[in-house]
Homo-oligomer: A and B are copies of this chain.
């Protein structure tokens, strides 16, 4: 965008649009990068620094002055120095009185200090209007101009006018300011950029553990057993066949684990007869990562679909089918259509397709922009009704896949049942308990408890 601001100035030298000077304390990397950007956006910039000589890296159009001189030139002062050095601001308190101080600092650890840096700054310079901003933007991104990532800048502060001034600068840099309220929000804003998918840790660790277990389980049954007893080399099974066993198993177990805590919570509430007692901590945490569990389950389900759809292209499968056909042809034998097998095969495929389809729908609804556009009633309808339907379809898919094999002794190599049988345990428990909870004799008191009724009111004293 070409702002042609010089042109505007020529036409109307005293226009109110003239950008006000911005002062930056600190000539470190972030201060310089921010200065560059702010100059590009048409603001005069003045740097405040201990020594006014290390000017080689500083943007050419910017002045470098002492802290006191620089502060006097601007109404907004961006403090681009680390919290440990904030002390030098105390003697400047008089000059900074009434000015807008922008705290851009970050810490190295979550909750490193008892109070946030911005609140600490507000205590050091009580007369100034402190605003927290810009800490979620990286210097490298500002420098290179490639802000592919989030353009959101969280802003908080106690003075509305000061916040407005900072938000205008944020917008002028092409970023999106998000008002987070008063300075109390600063701690959260400072912790935000330090997080690395905190809600995903448990689901991912759990699925890694389960993957490892089922990998060795299937390896034993499908590769080592035939090698030991039939001397057949099926080692290439570890590339597609075994992953295609693990993926659906994990998808089903994790999906069931999404609905397990809800069922547990219902039992606990029925037993306690109140909803006003806190759940145990582990249950709270489990409930908070249900969305992530579900999305990991969806990832495994998608992989299962891809692995299944390439089956007919696999060399091994083509070889096996053609060997069967050739041996039938050589034996002059034509089999009639086994309708039961056709029914079973089509049924488990259809159940799988419908289950996966609903699963993807659930995933799409959990996209932030979609879930923001549905109300609470619609969200519950999708996540609860459609969610259970998905679980039922996927469990049925696995049951029908098993079909007649459950009782066949061939399925129990080394007394190990087929892996998919293990995957049915959790979903079947969840579905049976949920089915029991739907009966009116349990559903009615549960509904009343969730509306605030208590069996023994003294409980919550």
CA gap between A7 and B209 in the complex, in Å = 40
Contact mask for chain A residues 424-461; partner B; CB cutoff 8 A; 1 contact, 0 none: 00000000000000000000000000111010011011
| Minimum CB–CB distance for A88 against chain B, Å | 20
Given A115-B8, A326-B334, A379-B314 contact (CB < 8 Å) = no
Given A243-B350, A290-B148, A367-B369, A193-B314 contact (CB < 8 Å) = no
Given A184-B5, A334-B326, A343-B236, A311-B313 contact (CB < 8 Å) = yes
B310 x A349 contact (CB < 8 A): yes
Restricting to A180-217, which residues have a CB under 8 Å from any CB of B? 180-185, 187-188, 191-197
How many copies of the polypeptide does the oligomer hold? 3
| Minimum CB–CB distance for A227 against chain B, Å | 12
| Minimum CB–CB distance for A60 against chain B, Å | 9
List residues of chain B with CB within 8 A of the CB of A406: none
Between A28, A140, A235, the greatest number of chain B beta carbons within 10 A of the residue's beta carbon is seen for A140
Contact mask for chain A residues 1-26; partner B; CB cutoff 8 A; 1 contact, 0 none: 11111011001100111010000000
* A357 in contact (CB, < 8 A): yes
B180 x A171 contact (CB < 8 A): yes
Contact mask for chain A residues 332-368; partner B; CB cutoff 8 A; 1 contact, 0 none: 1111011101111111011001101100110000111
* A138 in contact (CB, < 8 A): yes
* A107 in contact (CB, < 8 A): no
| Minimum CB–CB distance for A30 against chain B, Å | 9
List residues of chain B with CB within 8 A of the CB of A284: 145
CA gap between A327 and B328 in the complex, in Å = 10
Specify which of B56, B239, B240, B461 is in contact with A461 (CB 8 Å cutoff): B56
CA gap between A372 and B153 in the complex, in Å = 10
* A158 in contact (CB, < 8 A): yes
B350 x A182 contact (CB < 8 A): no
* A111 in contact (CB, < 8 A): yes
Contact mask for chain A residues 253-292; partner B; CB cutoff 8 A; 1 contact, 0 none: 0000000000001000000000110010000100110110
A2 x B111 contact (CB < 8 A): yes
Given A149-B379, A368-B373, A457-B57, A29-B451 contact (CB < 8 Å) = yes
A342 x B236 contact (CB < 8 A): yes
List residues of chain B with CB within 8 A of the CB of A360: 302
List residues of chain B with CB within 8 A of the CB of A381: 196-197
Chain B residue, CB-CB nearest to A372? B150
Specify which of B145, B151, B195 is in contact with A377 (CB 8 Å cutoff): B195
**Which among A71-79, A97-105, A315-323, A390-398 touches the partner chain?**
A315-323
Specify which of B193, B318, B329 is in contact with A376 (CB 8 Å cutoff): B193
**Which among A44-52, A62-70, A160-168, A408-416 touches the partner chain?**
A160-168
A4 x B368 contact (CB < 8 A): no
Please list the 9 inter-chain residue pairs (A to B) with the smallest Cβ-Cβ separation, ordered nearest first.
A29-B452, A369-B369, A315-B345, A149-B379, A171-B181, A239-B346, A312-B312, A368-B369, A329-B329
Q: List 6 A-B contacts (CB under 8 A).
A: A42-B184, A150-B373, A172-B182, A240-B350, A306-B357, A314-B349
